[in-house]
Amino acid sequence: MGPRCAAAGINGRGIPPSITAGSNGIEGCYVPGQLSQDYRTHGAAKLVKAGTDIVFQMHYTPNGKDVTDQPRIGFTVANSEPQRVYVSFGISSPSDPKSFAIPPNDPNWESPPAEVTFTDDVDLVWMFPHMHVRGKDMTYRLVYPDGTSETVLSVPRYDFNWQLGYDLARPVHVPKGTRLVVTAHYDNSVNNKFNPDPTKTVYYGDMTWEEMMFPLFSVVVDKGADPKGLIRIERGRQSNGA
């Protein structure tokens, strides 16, 4: 069974049609091999209000026999009120068939970028690229208000079988008005040993034989900031699950 992303959205009582409707969005994402996120490093936490439902989106792959799965989630409870809040986002490139269609036998197809603008000052602390078996590379780049740019994460050899989240050794301060631009490439050729069928056009979808361009990232902000108002989608969409 290959790794799958499990996204947890924290919602008010009564689960809405969308997994993250009425919530702050995706609160976390896990695949086998990934370490737990420790917000204490940043003097931050997430607020889970009384009466909250935690909703999981689980992804499975058949393995030919009946099995039982018992997902568990663990929390560390803060002893005092933190002064900062840890906020996670999942965004996506444009996913309509006209924008996202990987041609047959293309060894280096470039996805349309996912792009957001930060509408408040934040500290970028974590990034997690997610694609499927044709994913080749992904790059996160910040374009600052003065026009300068900085590559904050480059994963040149993406591996679906061992997906990693990247904790920054030092948070990157991102001023209001900065754009985050994420690009990715895909190998839909016979040279990709994980490719199910290089003769077919591949579209965006949840199944492993389809593809995704799904960069996640997390920021830390002062506790008075509105977590729902920190980014504006410029290209692509804010996604509900990976």
Distance, CA of 186 to CA of 136 (rounded, Å): 5
Classified as helix, coil or strand, 189 is coil
In the prediction, which pLDDT does 75 show?
Answer: 85
Which tokens is 25 given?
A: 């969005």
Residue 10 has pLDDT above 60, yes or no: no
Residue 12 has pLDDT above 50, yes or no: no
Q: What is the dihedral of CA 191, 194, 196, 202, to 10 degrees?
A: -80
Going by C-beta distance under 8 Å and a sequence separation of 6 or more, which residues neighbour residue 35? Answer: 165
Give the model's confidence band at 239: pLDDT under 50 very low, under 70 low, under 90 confident, else very high: low
44-45 and 84-92: which strand pairing? parallel
3-state DSSP helix/strand/coil % of the chain, to nearest 5:
5, 40, 55
In the prediction, which pLDDT does 47 show?
Answer: 81
> Where do runs of H (alpha helix) occur along 32-172?
none
Residue 193 has pLDDT above 90, yes or no: yes
Give the model's confidence band at 16: pLDDT under 50 very low, under 70 low, under 90 confident, else very high: very low
* Of 55 and 172, the one with more pLDDT: 172
Classified as helix, coil or strand, 153 is strand
Residue 131 has pLDDT above 60, yes or no: yes
Distance, CA of 46 to CA of 26 (rounded, Å): 12
Domains of the chain in sequence order: 83-238 (2.60.120.230)
Residue 109 has pLDDT above 80, yes or no: yes
Please state the separation of Cα 129 from the chain's center in Å: 6
In the prediction, which pLDDT does 217 show?
Answer: 95
Strand partners, 34: none
- State the chain's mean pLDDT as an integer: 86
Instruction: Check: CB of residue 91 under 8 Å from CB of residue 215.
Output: yes
Which tokens is 7 given?
A: 């996204």
Condensed to tens digits (0 to 9), the pLDDT of residues 143-169 reads: 999 999 999 999 999 999 888 889 999
In the prediction, which pLDDT does 17 show?
Answer: 43
pLDDT cut 70: percent of the chain above it = 87
Read off the pTM: 0.85
**Stretch 195-210: mean pLDDT:** 94
